[in-house]
Structure 1
Amino acid sequence: MTVSSAPMDLTRAAHVGISVSDLDASIAFYRALTGREPVAEGTMSSAPFGRTQGLPTAKLRYATINLDGLGIDLIQFQEPAGERTNGRANRPGSMHLCFKVDDFDAVYRRMKDAGYDFLGDDYTFAEGEVTPDAALGTQVAYFNDPDGTNLEIIHPKGGFSN
């Protein structure tokens, strides 16, 4: 794909959409994670909408959980049902959703005590590992939702993350 280098000025995010295999289980997971209830839940069956997704049709269930400044759309495609991607962080096209926290150590400990499985140890960016130095001292930890979507908690230092 070749696109023009002229900026399109897309600078505000509205939501992130996450395809899920079991909407009810995903609602329960994200409700526990965020402490928020869905602001919308419903169904859709539409060939025209499916075509916007590159699919012949779309029959789906969805729910939206709003964070401060970003919505999380959980979407269970019933027809056509898709296969799990088993996305890993190093696979092109994979993504992750990052949650900013004020007290990293307290949130990390609370999540571990609640049974969240982190993909590895928590990490603090150290001098000489990353440039620019704005990331120094930033704390991160990664985990997955029930379908393997990569999630992160972060306590940024300096100007590293919004």
Structure 2
Amino acid sequence: MADLTAHHVGITVADLDAATEFYQSVFDCDRLAEFSVDGDAFATGVDIENASAEFVHLDLGSVRLELVAYDPAGDDRSPAALNDAGATHLGVEVDDVDDFYDSLPASVETLSPPQTTATGTKICFLRDPAGTLIEVLNPNADSS
């Protein structure tokens, strides 16, 4: 079997500029790439007739975040709850969840203030402009 290396986590967005601005301002991450893809091979590969897409890749430290806006756009869906089957979220580790939470602009929707779980992990969930769940965590909070 070949060695596996994770390349990116992808999030489909309706407004690429707004999503990029959100992730860059909230997580202070650099833009790695910006590009477009279209053509028959792409449309066939993603199984969307006549698809094209605009992409932005952002550096979230140990993972590349891929934001993608498709044409044609898909249907809007209600934001997932964490206990919905198939619900997905992005996890981002920070040194201090409380400091991160305190630095968030008032416009950022959070599910609750930071909480420490039974495992000693400090967590805080927020939503990006499209409603995607983001877990901000420090798994070593109990040893700080």
> What interval of TM-score do these two structures reach, taking the shorter chain for normalisation?
0.7 to 0.9
SS of alignment partner, residue 18 of structure 1: strand
SS of alignment partner, residue 91 of structure 1: coil
Are 1:83 and 2:75 counterparts?
yes
- CA pair 10-53 structure 1, distance change in 2 beyond 3 A: farther
Opposite residue 148 of structure 1, the aligned amino acid is G
Q: How many residues align?
A: 139
Opposite residue 90 of structure 1, the aligned amino acid is N
SS of alignment partner, residue 56 of structure 2: strand
Q: Which has the larger radius of gyration?
A: 1
5 Å-filtered alignment, 1:12-161, equals 12-79=5-72, 81-86=73-78, 87-111=80-104, 114-115=105-106, 116-126=108-118, 136-157=119-140
- CA pair 11-121 structure 1, distance change in 2 beyond 3 A: farther
Check the 8 A contact 1:20/1:74 in 2, yes or no: yes
In the superposition, the TM-score normalised over structure 2's length comes to 0.86
In the superposition, the TM-score normalised over structure 1's length comes to 0.77
Residue ranges of structure 1 left out of the alignment (5+ in a row): 1-7, 127-135
Check the 8 A contact 2:58/2:64 in 1, yes or no: yes
Runs of 4+, deviation exceeding 3 Å: 8-12
Residue ranges of structure 2 left out of the alignment (5+ in a row): none
Opposite residue 6 of structure 2, the aligned amino acid is A
SS of alignment partner, residue 92 of structure 1: coil
